[in-house]
Amino acid sequence: MPKMSISVNGQSQVPPGFRFHPTEEELLQYYLRKKVSFDKIDLDVIRDVDLNKLEPWDIQEKCKIGTTPQNDWYFFSHKDKKYPTGTRTNRATAAGFWKATGRDKVIYSNCRRIGMRKTLVFYKGRAPHGQKSDWIMHEYRLDENSTSESNNMMKATSVVVIGDGGQEEGWVVCRIFKKKNHHKTLDSPMSTTTNDTTSSLLLDSCNDGALDQIIHYMGRTCKEIIEEDQEDEDGMGMGMGAGRLLHPIDTSSVVINGSGSYLDGRFSKLPSLESPNSTSTHNCYQPINNHLGPADPMIVSGYQLDSSSVVSSAPHNWAAFDRLVASQLNGQVEVSNMIYYSDQLPTTTTLRATTSFSSKSSSSSYNAVVAAPTAPQDYNNVDTELWSFARLSSTDPLCHVSDTTI
């Protein structure tokens, strides 16, 4: 692989100790702004990469800067559109695919919004059986409406004002890095090696602010979130009816993942790969079913995913999806029973809820179960429980919460 040669003031390389570590603002305001306006960039430090053709580990090779060790790699990418009419983007490679996670973060410059950051995770294999890797991508895009405005600001360097035309081509600037599993390791200047005293001192992970954010995020009304989801470029335009009805059952797919697992059909046209077996994770729920022991237990998410399996066969037909959901839910479903009790506060809480849906048309009855682990050893992860809690305490009217101690 050819290495990028950099010449700075006659030196053939970046001087020792210096690395390319741009701020998000620099990435957007300087590099991406110049890119979309075909402006010349002083140094060719950020390369163009076709995200569909290169695996993360190949990008790592291609986007080397000099010879210094790197923890992250930068490139420009073209946001291809898989379907001419669609707004979803296709980020599949030969070995896997990039899947968006979380919500996009707004990037500000001097208190003015300039763009957005999307976080994606690389999965090996094919949806829905992809295996999550440690490769993370931050994809930065400029706000479309800010292009012309900021071109004025960039008078000194701007050559051509491309405006929306350039924007529609969909250049984004990306950073990929490998998630560290044991928070902070060697080789990063910011990181400290683990030292018993210092690690506890320096590396407190989650602060209270993050927790607040999560709770705040989870607690928002579903309507608001779904509307935003639709605005989001990866939003699926899920029918409001469907979203509203599904929300009390499973917020995760509808709300949290802009391009979540209900998009199975996304990759249906790609050649199939050997998929890793996912039963190991599946097992986590088994004890819960046994524990609650309703006849014919069913995971709520399964219900949701049953719908999506129909969608998978016709990925474009969201109207059909809406009809399907409506036929099963609209006016025919009542929450006959929803129990939620919390013994303690969320971090150590035991959450159980059962929901029964009776469908008059099919005369079948589903016992839907949303359950957090009753035994802490099932999950050592507080986040998991927190999430379950938030899911139950959603503000949807169908969700009856009692004994809330928050």
Partner 1 sequence: MAAPHSHNFNLPPGFRFYPTDEELVVHFLHRKAALLPCHPDVIPDLNLFTYDPWELDGKALGEGNRWYFYSRKIEGRVTDNGFWNPLGRDDPVLSTATSEVVGMKKYFLFHLQDADAGPLKTNWIMHEFRLADAAAAVATSSSSSRRRGRPKRDYSKWVLCRVYERDEEKEEEEDGAELSCLDEVFLTLDDLDEISLPNRIQ
146-205: which residues touch partner 1 (CB under 8 A)?
A: 175, 177, 179-180, 183-184, 186-193, 195-198, 201-202, 204-205
Check if the beta carbon of residue 374 is closer than 8 Å to that of residue 389: no
> What residues between 321 and 360 interact with partner 1 by CB under 8 A?
none
Which DSSP symbol is given to 109? E
Which residue, 151 or 257, has its beta carbon nearer to partner 1?
Answer: 257
Which residue, 145 or 283, has its beta carbon nearer to partner 1?
Answer: 283
> What residues between 276 and 295 interact with partner 1 by CB under 8 A?
278-279, 281-282, 284-285
Cβ at position 29, least distance to partner 1 in Å: 9
Region from 76-84, 126-134, 158-166, 315-323 binding partner 1, contact rule CB under 8 A = 126-134
Cβ at position 200, least distance to partner 1 in Å: 10
- Kindly state whether residue 314 participates in binding partner 1, applying the rule CB under 8 A: no
Contacting residue, 304, 312, 342, 394, with partner 1 by CB under 8 A: 304
Residues with Cβ within 8 Å of residue 205, at least 6 apart in sequence: 183
Structure tokens at 193: 């090696």
Per-residue x/- mask for partner 1, residues 81 to 110, rule CB under 8 A? ------------------x-xxx-------
Residue showing tokens 């009790």: 341
H or E stretch at 173: strand 171-178
Nearest to 401 by CA among 355, 334, 338, 336: 338
Q: How far apart are CA 59 and CA 56, in angstroms?
A: 5
**CA 126, 128, 130 angle in degrees (round to 5)?**
50
The site that binds partner 1 (CB under 8 A) totals a number of residues, namely 95
> What residues between 228 and 257 interact with partner 1 by CB under 8 A?
250, 252-253, 256-257
> What residues between 13 and 32 interact with partner 1 by CB under 8 A?
14-24, 26-27, 30-31
Contacting residue, 153, 384, 398, 401, with partner 1 by CB under 8 A: 384
- Bridge partner list, 351: 342
Contacting residue, 138, 141, 247, 266, with partner 1 by CB under 8 A: 138
Nearest to 251 by CA among 125, 123, 54, 392: 392
Which residue, 81 or 106, has its beta carbon nearer to partner 1?
Answer: 106
Task: Tell me the three state secondary structure of residue 164.
Answer: helix
Which residue, 87 or 278, has its beta carbon nearer to partner 1?
Answer: 278
Which residue, 84 or 111, has its beta carbon nearer to partner 1?
Answer: 111
Contacting residue, 153, 154, 214, 270, with partner 1 by CB under 8 A: 214
Which DSSP symbol is given to 275? P
Structure tokens at 190: 């910011």
Structure tokens at 233: 């470029």
Cβ at position 403, least distance to partner 1 in Å: 24
Cβ at position 84, least distance to partner 1 in Å: 28
Contacting residue, 36, 386, 392, 399, with partner 1 by CB under 8 A: 386
Q: How far apart, in Å, are the Cα atoms of 394 and each of 25, 225, 372, 379, 404? A: 35, 12, 15, 22, 12
Q: How far apart are CA 367 and CA 312, in angstroms?
A: 24
Which residue, 204 or 231, has its beta carbon nearer to partner 1?
Answer: 204
- Label the pairing between strands 72-78 and 131-142: unpaired
17-21 long-range contacts, CB within 8 A, separation 24+? 18/68, 19/65, 19/68, 19/70, 19/189, 20/45, 20/65, 20/70, 20/74
Which residue, 26 or 55, has its beta carbon nearer to partner 1?
Answer: 26
Q: How far apart are CA 48 and CA 171, in angstroms?
A: 9
Cβ at position 157, least distance to partner 1 in Å: 11
Q: How far apart are CA 312 and CA 304, in angstroms?
A: 12
- Kindly state whether residue 365 participates in binding partner 1, applying the rule CB under 8 A: no
Which residue, 10 or 84, has its beta carbon nearer to partner 1?
Answer: 10
Check if the beta carbon of residue 37 is closer than 8 Å to that of residue 155: no
Which residue, 81 or 180, has its beta carbon nearer to partner 1?
Answer: 180
Which residue, 22 or 166, has its beta carbon nearer to partner 1?
Answer: 22
- Bridge partner list, 74: 175
